[in-house]
Amino acid sequence: MTQPFDDQKARASAWFRELRDRIVTAFEALEDTQVEGPFADLPAGRFEVSETRRGSADGSDAGGGLMSVMRGGRVFEKVGVNISTVYGTLGEAAQKAMAARGVPGMDSDPSFWASGISLVAHMQNPRTPAVHMNTRMFWTPHAWWFGGGADLNPCIENDADTAAFHAALKLACDAHDPAYYDRFKAWADEYFFVPHRGRARGVGGIFYDDLNTGDWEADFAFTRDVGAAFLPAFLPVTEQHRNDPYTDVDKEAQLIHRGLYAEYNLVYDRGTKFGLATGHDANAVLMSLPPEAKWT
């Protein structure tokens, strides 16, 4: 007998896989194009794909996913595109965190199901911005919601790049609710702020969580459109700057900015904390960390 939400879970998980396949194909195609400068003689990068598993306390199957990582390419120094579908029982710390966010039923049934895609790209050319994107669906016996977003992380900011990236995300938001972009942009500005540095980690984007309007189809459609907007938002910026000349000073700025990015992800990022706390593959959870970084 089909359980409530089984069909929705299957559709969401299938979409995240489809989006992953689109992005991996597009990134490998970008690697195949002509690159000028110090990376021209490198072989075109390709993703290495491995399965990930989530451990459970009793050793039973608790789901997993695919980790796809490209290293040392012509355009991408390191990029990871991960998908996962995991389930089981939330630990005590996770239960308290969920209850604090207003998720009902944690004291009676802390079982959960979650599926999503997570992407982080660190670029070879410091004139090309790093980027992050993720979207996800979360379910418990008493609640369900969607979350995600994308943000651009240049070490050398460019107003035109920022405007183009935000315009693509705004287009996706406006197709569903004219209030979404301003609301979710402000949320991203708050979420991606690094308190101990007193600054944002990048030039923002959109971020949303706990999205449940009561209309699953509408919320799923919005989440699909956020994911589908990623390539139109990011690829033009990359194509424009991948061959830009740069200096040693630019490269130093890139490495220092990566240190800021690593600090944020290890100290504040909600996804990192949840993944490690719930026993997901640590390598997949920490895929977002840059290959090299520097601190002053």
User: What does the pLDDT profile of the chain (296 residues) look like in tens digits?
Assistant: 346 689 999 999 999 999 999 999 999 999 999 888 889 899 999 999 999 987 665 555 689 999 999 999 999 999 999 999 999 888 888 888 888 888 888 888 999 999 999 999 999 999 999 999 999 999 999 999 999 999 999 999 999 999 999 999 999 999 999 999 999 999 999 999 999 999 999 999 999 999 999 999 999 999 999 999 999 999 999 999 999 999 999 999 999 999 999 999 999 988 888 778 777 778 888 888 999 999 98
pLDDT digits (tens, 9 = 90+) for 208-258: 999 999 999 999 999 999 999 999 999 999 999 999 999 999 999 999 999
User: Would you say the pTM of this structure is higher than 0.75?
Assistant: yes
Catalytically active residues are: 132
Cβ atoms within 10 Å, residue 295: 10
> Cα(145)–Cα(115) distance, rounded to whole angstroms?
11
2-39 burial code (b ≥16 CB/10 A, e <16) = eeeeeeebeebbebbbebbeebbeebbebbeeebeeeb
- Cα separation, 261 vs 158, in Å, equals 18
Residue by residue, what is the 3-state secondary structure of the chain?
Answer: CCCCCHHHHHHHHHHHHHHHHHHHHHHHHHHCCCCCCCCCCCCCCCCEEEEEECCCCCCCCCEEEEEEEEECCCCEEEEEEEEEEEEEECCHHHHHHHHHCCCCCCCCCCEEEEEEEEEEEEECCCCCCEEEEEEEEEEECCEEEEEEEEEEECCCCCHHHHHHHHHHHHHHHHCCCCCHHHHHHHHHHHHCEECCCCEECCCEEEEEEEECCCCHHHHHHHHHHHHHCHHHHHHHHHHHHCCCCCCHHHHHHHHHHHHHHHHHHHHCCHHHHHHHHCCCCHHHHHHHCCCCCCCC
C-alpha 121/C-alpha 40 separation (Å) is 19
Sign of the torsion angle spanned by Cα atoms 192, 194, 198, 200: negative
Q: Which position has the token pair 């490269």?
A: 251
